[in-house]
Amino acid sequence: MDISIVVPLYNEEESLPELTAWIERVMAEHGYSYEIIFVNDGSTDGSQGIVRSLAQNNPHIRSISFARNYGKSPALNEGFRKSQGDVVITMDADLQDSPDEIPELYRMIMAEGYDLVSGWKKKRYDPLSKTIPTKLFNATARRVSGIKNLHDFNCGLKAYRKDVVKHIEVYGDMHRYIPYLAKNAGYKKIGEKVVQHQARKYGHTKFGLDRFVNGYLDLATLWFQSSFGVKPMHLFGLLGSLMFIIGFLAVLAVLVLKVVSICSEDYNFYVTNSVYFYLSLACMVMGLQFFLTGFIGELITRNSPERNNYLIAEEF
């Protein structure tokens, strides 16, 4: 099969018939063999009924329907597991992404050898409250992930080589960082294509402002996982040692000052009045905590089934 199109949807009943007809038209024009996987993320409107009736007229339509709303990432993850096409395309259900982009995305994966091609909504039709924070968000994501050539990490329209989606796990709200997940899994050829973007025709956006706070927290988590995921002691041991050294120097300072004060007649030093005393206490306690965190992290890593997952490029 050439193409799997994975569409996560949450209360998008108005858009589905139009989107399906459009995808069918593009697929027929190019003669691709394909499947459309609608992942219904616990919609409370008539979306699933519409998917069912669309599937009756088109044998290429498959569906997964969650019992409740889990989020876009879990929806994509399940769609990825079910997909069979050589190239897997994800697109939003709200008609903001255009199926006309699919042939070029497919070509970039198959002919140019990209592992992942991410859409870039260069001209966006979203409110300013969304576009400005998004710019900041993308700049941070570029820096942290080291994927310097991407302008739009969170574009719903993306294409993947099948191998990629079978080797990544999208969970929580990590759909914003799939290129980073792919990079961490060992896929290096990540490209970008400028895509057409439309204003939302029906319904309303499913993400509020909390996505920016959560987005940055998730980025911090991913950075930590990719840098220290299997060697947490390298970070916590370093921090713990630093704290211990500072604490030790502070203790030395307390000792020296006390000895000086005992030997001299007119200099009085009281340990509990000294800033060094409190510094030594705080640093020793924090140092110990960092070390213990490191040890516990190592124990958890040791038990993780993922600890020895490597992507092998070649083997004789």
- By CB under 6 A, name the binding residues for ligand UDP: 8-10, 12, 41, 69, 71-72, 75, 92-94, 96, 156, 205-207
Q: Which CB, 94 or 101, lies closer to ligand UDP?
A: 94
Q: How far apart are CA 311 and CA 305, in angstroms?
A: 15
Work out how close the CB of 142 gets to ligand UDP at its nearest, in angstroms, rounded to a whole number: 19
The binder of Mg ion chosen from 12, 94, 115, 218 (CB under 5 A): 94
Work out how close the CB of 140 gets to ligand UDP at its nearest, in angstroms, rounded to a whole number: 17
With 0-12 / 13-18 / 19 or more C-beta atoms within 10 angstroms meaning exposed / middle / buried, residue 263 is: exposed
Q: Which CB, 12 or 115, lies closer to ligand UDP?
A: 12
With 0-12 / 13-18 / 19 or more C-beta atoms within 10 angstroms meaning exposed / middle / buried, residue 126 is: middle
Residue 198 partner contact from Mg ion, ligand UDP, none using kind-dependent CB cut-offs of 5 to 8 Å: none
Residue 183 partner contact from ligand UDP, Mg ion, none using kind-dependent CB cut-offs of 5 to 8 Å: none
Q: Is 15 in the site for Mg ion (CB under 5 A)?
A: no
91 contacts 156 by C-beta, under 8 angstroms = yes
Work out how close the CB of 175 gets to ligand UDP at its nearest, in angstroms, rounded to a whole number: 8
Torsion sign, CA atoms 21, 26, 31, 32: negative
Work out how close the CB of 221 gets to Mg ion at its nearest, in angstroms, rounded to a whole number: 24
Residue 226 burial (CB count, 10 A) = 17
Residue with tokens 């070649």: 314
DSSP 304: -
* Residues of the shown chain interacting with Mg ion in the complex, contacts defined by CB under 5 A: 92, 94, 96
